[in-house]
Amino acid sequence: MTDKPKKKPSAKRTPVLPKLPDLPQGDDSPQKSDVFTASKRSEIMSKVKSTKNKSTELRLIEEFKRLHITGWRRQVKIVGKPDFLFRQLRIAVFVDGCFWHGHDCRNTKPKDHADYWRVKIERNQARDRAVTERLEALGYRVVRVWECDFKKANAERLNEKLRPIVEALERVRSESIS
């Protein structure tokens, strides 16, 4: 029996994210405007289930159909969990909410618990940068579509973001014909 050299575990580089500051609890809150106690509010909020950004993703699917974009998959287990993945084209598409990912398209800076939200959004942005770098290192092109890109005033910007997908699909289709 020969001893095989052991493989070194792959060093996953996860970003070091700052700890979120504590939110004031119960009577510690500077302005108590909630009608529920902190524990009751926590119980209520624990039952709220996220739809992720489903409505925005559905709007992007409508755009894909309008532009005849096909070949995407959802919920693929790959680093960063992109909202849409074009594996053959090596394109990952993320649909980001303007508030949660810190887009500066409108006044989305909350005044209550400002430090908490600032740190939380900075953590999200750091994670987004790390995911983008990792996917690019794997050979993927990353497209980030903002929630505000679906407004009529931003239709051209949305088309510009989707152009690489359309062009890549056209290349693949023309190569398969010839």
Lowest mean pLDDT among 61-75, 93-107, 123-137: 93-107
Q: What is the mean pLDDT of residues 124-133?
A: 93
Residue percentage of the chain with pLDDT more than 70: 78
For residue 159, pLDDT over 80 is answered with: yes
pLDDT in tens, 96-110: 888 888 888 876 677
Q: What is the pLDDT of residues 33-67, one digit of tens each?
A: 677 888 887 787 777 766 666 788 899 999 999 98
Instruction: Answer whether 0.85 is exceeded by the pTM.
Output: no
pLDDT at 8 over 60: no
What's the pLDDT at 134?
A: 95
Q: Which CATH number fits domain 74-178: 3.40.50.2300, 3.30.450.20, 3.40.960.10, 3.10.150.10?
A: 3.40.960.10
Domain ranges of the chain: 74-178
| One-character DSSP codes across the chain | -PPPPPPPPP------PPPPPPPP-GGGSSS---SS-HHHHHHHHHT---BTBHHHHHHHHHHHHHTT----BSS--STT--SEEETTTTEEEEEE-TTTTT--SS----STTHHHHHHHHHHHHHHHHHHHHHHHHTT-EEEEEEGGGGSGGGHHHHHHHHHHHHHHHHHHHHHHH-
pLDDT score of 9 = 54
Q: What is the pLDDT of residue 32?
A: 55
pLDDT of residue 30: 52
